[in-house]
Amino acid sequence: MRVVIQRVLEASVTISKEKVAEIRKGLLILIGIEDSDTSEDINWLVGKISNLRIFPDENDVMNLSIKDINGEIILVSQFTLHASTKKGNRPSYIKAAKPDFAIPMYEKFVSHLEIELGKKIQTGQFGADMKVALVNDGPVTIIIDTKNKD
């Protein structure tokens, strides 16, 4: 499981000219799921995201988490995070999980994150052509891959 976490002042997701998600201060998270991902990966990543100290405190030091600031989250599925570009110029997505596995894992991730944070997580729509807009704050962008957690 791989995520790109972006600290944002605002973000939104639009599908077919309809805005389906919109937040102010918080995180825009892009998530890619592989066939080898497990519930353990979900639990570890939810804990990491919830407690990641990337928001400034009163001294402008990145010392606060999304929990500390009561921030919002938009979670967007993105299979292209598992693109392999080793051969040629056309990326291969062979490592990205197929929808029959990825959708339940994505939904479980959303549910676990909502439980951890005690609030609704806004999302895009799995497999849809989405237009994602954001104002990156900092900019602060963090990449986490559960295959590198040890």
> Prior bond to 139 cis, omega within 30?
yes
Question: Are 92 and 69 in contact, with CB atoms under 8 Å apart?
Answer: no
For residue 20, the one-letter residue type is V
Active site residue 141: no
SS3 63: strand
Question: Are 34 and 101 in contact, with CB atoms under 8 Å apart?
Answer: no
Residue of 80, 123, 141, 146 with catalytic role: 80
The distance from CA 55 to its chain's CA centroid, rounded to whole angstroms, is 16
- Catalytic annotation, residues: 80
